[in-house]
Amino acid sequence: MRHRLFLPQRGARHGCARRLGSLLTALALSLPFSLPLAQADDRAMRDALEAARSQQWERIDQDAIADHSLAGYVEYHRLRDRLPQAEPDEVLDFIERHANSPLGEWMRGQAITRYGQANRHAYLRAVADGEPADTARRCYYYTAQLGSDPAAAAEGGLALWQVGRSQPGACDTLFDTLRSRGVIGEQQIWERKMLAWQAGEAGLVGYLGRQLGSRWDEPRQVMERLSGDFAAVTRVPTCIGPECRGSGPLFAAAMHGFTRADTEAAVEAWRKIEEHLPIEREQRHAIEHDLIFYSLVRDVRQHRGWVDQALAERSDADLLELRVRAALGERDWEGVLSWLDRMAPDTRDNSRWHYWSARAHEQLGDDARGQEDYALAAQGRSFFGFAAADRLGQPYALSLERNGFDDATREQVARWPVVQRTEALLRIDEPGLAASEWYGAIERASPREARALADYAQRQGWHAKLVQTTITGRMWDALEWRFPEAYSEHFLHWGRMTGVDPYLLMGITRRESAYNPEAVSPAGARGLMQVMPGTATQLAGQLGISDPGPYGVLDPELNIRLGSTYIRDMLDRYRGNRLAAAAAYNAGPSRVDRWLADAPEEFDLFVESIPFRETRLYVQAVLSYRAIFESLANGGNSEGVSMLSPTEKTVRYDRSLLARDSS
């Protein structure tokens, strides 16, 4: 059920006005100076939320927060603290009243956990709304159905069982009951043991092995033999376990490890045994997918004939992409067209594949068909779409969507409960909760409501939140919001000081952090341009400034200065080439140096040949984003904008691109 964003939050009444005089009097008596009412309410709310989190209910001034937009957060903690004793009706009432906030579903999840832990199965079933997403809660959910719906419990429990990792303790009762009922037997134990072996979970492998009877002694011995020597897969019995039902799981797990360890030998072994194995079609399909995938990724050409024969009977999008890329690397233009034709229409119908179809037809002398495909590719707003437009000599297709809201609508939006809660959470320094409120609202919103919220974020200067709003709301054509004019004075200044194109800096920043100045990657890269602390130290020494440390590097202007300096150094390394420099910014210059040693000579083939998918997509994004930023600076007009310079389009992409002092 959709809950409209502009409905007033239940419980918001006019009591605030009634208590205004007494509250101001209390503030005057307790503080050395007066605070505005909202500021005082926020202080009380901050204190109340802190107390609620630690169950110190006596510290909460309920009157001071009764009409605050965040009062539901304290109520949430009160009700959660009363679980599992609280009745389901109370929980459902809370969920209904807070359905336009994350609080509702958070409470449902808490209730499922607490009721599950207390074995209050009827209560759990009353508050659940279908299968939960969390694994432990799924286990509680299906445990609660063991008595009321045993078939559903069996199906859900088996899905939870059939994984190659340990499951939380919440699953124990479910699994034990299903074993006692015969739903989970030795066959299912063996299958999970093989999944655990495949995942490298030695502890779980041993535990499951101890649950098997003597009928599985030989399969266990075969597994132990293969664990020490995958190549023995051609010398072990093909019929494993009772009625050969252990064969499929064992050979699937063994071939998984063999393929990763030695793809060439694995293909040879598979071709010897595949016809004799009593395994399911799905298992055979998974084995061959791995073999084809790694043969193409690792360029195992000895078995290219087998790969092509096996791939001709499949339609896996990822494998066909790899095969097309292999054909491009070999300049097999007829092969490019042949493998493109095998792609499903919805996979093939994008700018990238239209572009390569055009290039292939052009190389084979069919210029008319090439022009047709370039025209199709140029309809896209992407790296290859822009590259196609350049070949046709036409402006880029931006498909720019413009949105406008009048003052009356904007005033109404400012009063929406979700906006008031988000603003209040930001005021009391709860950015994580504020983000949950905001993005949850975007997911529930109609397209017009979502755009109204994006407009509000833009006017508030919430650059990172604005970008994420367009992603959550799938506002792909709202380019002025997806690529906001943020920190422009710093990009222009440090672009000028370092001699780096400021639009390139914007493109890098948009890809690296989506304009979140506090972004920290799992690897430790920080800030707008995702500078590593070690790199920041090195660059600071180069610039003759103090080492900013891991937190100082988060400062937006300093981060842009350091990032601009680093990309300048990469541009110097690659003779000003932005494709190579962008690749080095993402993957490191030593890798790019190696790629250039074996690279194709043309820019598009160089980009497509980058072996790291992340870097391949990164380079395309940065350069296409750069063109979008420049077009937006021109009022949304791409006329005269070029993604690449003439030199970048025509230069040889090989080691000659390296400056001499970098080689």
Which residues have a catalytic role annotated?
512
Looking at 276-396, list the stretches that DSSP marks H as alpha helix, in order from N- to C-terminal side: 281-297, 304-311, 317-329, 333-341, 345-348, 351-363, 367-377, 383-392
The torsion angles phi and psi of 520, rounded to 5 degrees, stand at: -130, 120
Q: Are 170 and 136 in contact (CB under 8 A)?
A: yes
In angstroms, the CA 74 to CA 428 distance is 14
Those residues with Cβ within 8 angstroms of residue 439's Cβ, 6 or more apart along the chain or in another chain: 468, 469, 472
Q: Are 559 and 548 in contact (CB under 8 A)?
A: no
Q: What angle do CA 116, 118, 121 make, to 5 degrees?
A: 50
In angstroms, the CA 300 to CA 296 distance is 6
DSSP state of 250: H
Choose among 614, 619, 618, 617: nearest CA to 653: 619
In angstroms, the CA 486 to CA 496 distance is 17
Q: Which residues are registered as beta bridge partners of 526?
A: 520, 531
What torsion do the CA atoms of 17, 429, 491, 643 make, to the nearest 10 degrees? -90
Element (H, E) at 610: none
Looking at 402-487, list the stretches that DSSP marks H as alpha helix, in order from N- to C-terminal side: 407-414, 417-427, 431-444, 447-460, 463-472, 479-482
Those residues with Cβ within 8 angstroms of residue 41's Cβ, 6 or more apart along the chain or in another chain: 64, 65, 68
Cα 460 to Cα 38, 264, 463, distances in angstroms? 19, 58, 8
Q: Are 292 and 303 in contact (CB under 8 A)?
A: no
The torsion angles phi and psi of 544, rounded to 5 degrees, stand at: 75, 35
In angstroms, the CA 459 to CA 453 distance is 10
In angstroms, the CA 377 to CA 356 distance is 9
**Secondary structure of residue 531 in the 3-state scheme:** strand
In angstroms, the CA 294 to CA 322 distance is 10
Those residues with Cβ within 8 angstroms of residue 161's Cβ, 6 or more apart along the chain or in another chain: 167, 175, 178, 184, 188, 192
**Secondary structure of residue 32 in the 3-state scheme:** coil
Residue 84, preceding peptide bond in cis (omega within 30° of 0): yes
In angstroms, the CA 555 to CA 557 distance is 6
Within its chain, how far is the Cα of 242 from the centroid? 43
In angstroms, the CA 505 to CA 490 distance is 10
**Secondary structure of residue 520 in the 3-state scheme:** strand
Cα 52 to Cα 57, 402, 421, 651, distances in angstroms? 6, 44, 18, 64
Cα 234 to Cα 197, 303, 329, 433, 557, distances in angstroms? 19, 18, 34, 56, 62
